[in-house]
Amino acid sequence: MPKHLFCKYGLIIYLICLSPIVRSQIVSFEQKNIAIKALFDSLTTKTQVDIAYDVNAFNPDSLIDANYQSQHALQIVQNVLNKNAVDINYSDGQIVISKKVVSKIMPKTIRITGTLYDEADSTVLPLVNISVSGKPLGTITNGDGQYEFKLPMEYANEQLAFSFLGYNTAFKTIPNTDAVIDVVLQATSVKLDEVEVTYKDPDEIVNNLRLKHKDNYFLQQTVLEGFFRESIKQDGTYVQVSEAIIKLIKPGYSAPSNLERVKFIKGRKKNDLQSMDLIDFKLEGGPFQFSRVDIARYQDFYSSDNILYKYNYDGVAILNDELVYKVRFRPISDDGNLLYNGVLFIHSESFALVRSEFELTKKALKSSGKSLIRKASRKVKVKPLQAKYYIDYRQFENKWILNRIEGEIVVRINDKNHKVNSIFTAVTELLISDCKVDSKFKMKPSELYKSKYVLADHIKETDEEFWKNYNIIRPDQALEMVFKKTKVVSK
């Protein structure tokens, strides 16, 4: 196993001090009864931001009352055109306005929404896995316990399975029309009269995990469709949210030397430029890096030549109404290298890895700055506070396929020159919504998502129909509010 796992698990945070450029693009403007084209000309003169537009996208001669105080030129343009069907792209000091892309008509689907609750106290259950029994389609509930699932009409009368660690799996029949299906899950426990719960040798469990590897995962190439989201908070407030649909080639689990390939399909984002006018906080690598956070495929933390980690048995849990072993791992020597503490959830019968949670050790956090942070200025002080990850798998055709990955990186950024002392939290989520076994599928090199790409910069247009045609993670209330603030989303 590689000693420096962070190169794969950690998204690179790229910081740039923006003060002179961005602040010069922030302007106050007040004038009644002004033509939109005259306003845009004035903005260009005042800020040096070039504004180009298609005259057929909106009426540039329309008269408006303009009253904007200390706003970025892009924010003013967004506000002026918020009721027009336009795409607004921003890059390198230029704003380009064009007609909105009209979505293609998609096949009719069944739309199911609802909320998952705990039977005991009626609290909502976040991150519950939802899948069609025996099929590759899946989604999860959001932080508010809500879900939204779009299914082809031919899936009517199939069974929806709702599963969550520590709860009995619930099943609901898929109706043939749109419906609201709320589900109550009942907590379960290991019944001592049915299951003999005794101490298990963790090394023996991990060894069986290795031996059964080829039986539990696809050895041929699979093609996955996934939903990817990056959200950034500054001191608890969202300042950037980027979302994308991606297609992912996952080589067979017997050949980890063959790396995953990712294709960007479509996306949208929301930026609050005014909140991040001093620090440009970016996540580099995005889907490219996260597609390779596949503990089962690469056998990280438990490879046959493991010399870094030791194991402890931590009892059992119930997942999908079946018993799983919990095996904790930690470094044999926590010497400050980029090592992790975590837990492996291993199916008691098949010995498949079905879930894992892990995070950088405290000593590793102290030395992770150079691997995690790329800074444009040495004067900016950055202190990593946390780096933790979650991954799980679901069953399909008697194998286990990647279901979801989540990563959270927390850093403190201190820039005395610009009076910035903030905590930034970056959360990355990948949800696999569909899977096909297809050994012949290929991607052109020009289509591939590259390691240096920044997702927020890669999104060039916004599709208002974004939420309607894909199985995705429904935003929680906080994220909903981020997107409701501005309907026209910039590059």
pLDDT digits (tens, 9 = 90+) for 159-183: 999 999 889 999 999 999 999 999 9
Task: At 403, list the tokens.
Answer: 């279901």
> Angle of helix 73-80 relative to helix 36-47, nearest 10 degrees?
170
Supply the pLDDT for residue 476.
85
Q: For the chain, what is the mean pLDDT? A: 83
Q: Give the integer Cα–Cα distance in Å for 123 and 117.
A: 5
pLDDT of the residue at 1: 35
pLDDT of residue 209: 95
Per-residue model confidence (pLDDT) at position 344: 97
113-125: average pLDDT: 94
Section 119-124 average pLDDT: 94
pLDDT band at 103 (very low <50, low <70, confident <90, very high): low
Q: What pLDDT was estimated at residue 488? A: 38
Which residue from 237, 334, 254, 239 is spatially nearest to 299, judged by alpha carbons?
A: 254
* pLDDT value of residue 9: 54
More confident: 248 or 273 = 248
Model confidence at 122, in pLDDT bands (50, 70, 90)? very high
Q: Give the pLDDT score at 7.
A: 46
Q: pLDDT exceeding 70 applies to what percent of the chain?
A: 84
Q: Kindly tell me if the per-residue pLDDT of 262 is higher than 90.
A: yes
* Residue 102, CA distances (Å) to 73, 295, 470 in order: 26, 39, 16
Length of the chain: 491
What is the Cα–Cα distance from 9 to 391, expressed in whole angstroms? Answer: 11
Task: Using the predicted structure, report yes or no on whether residue 4 has a pLDDT greater than 60.
Answer: no
pLDDT at residue 463, rounded to an integer: 62
Q: Looking at the predicted structure, is the pLDDT value of residue 325 above 80?
A: yes
Q: Are 13 and 282 in contact (CB under 8 A)?
A: yes
Query: What pLDDT was estimated at residue 136?
Result: 86
Closest CA to 145 of 181, 173, 109, 189: 181
Residue 192's pLDDT is 44
Confidence label for 458 from pLDDT (cuts 50, 70 and 90): confident
Region of poorest pLDDT, from 182-196, 240-254, 303-317, 418-432: 182-196
- pLDDT of res. 193: 47
Would you place residue 451 in the very low, low, confident or very high pLDDT band (cuts 50, 70, 90)? Answer: confident
Q: Identify the weakest region by mean pLDDT among 54-58, 194-198, 224-228.
A: 194-198
Return the minimum-mean-pLDDT range out of 13-27, 115-129, 230-244, 271-285: 13-27
Predicted pLDDT of residue 466: 62
- 441 pLDDT exceeds 90? yes
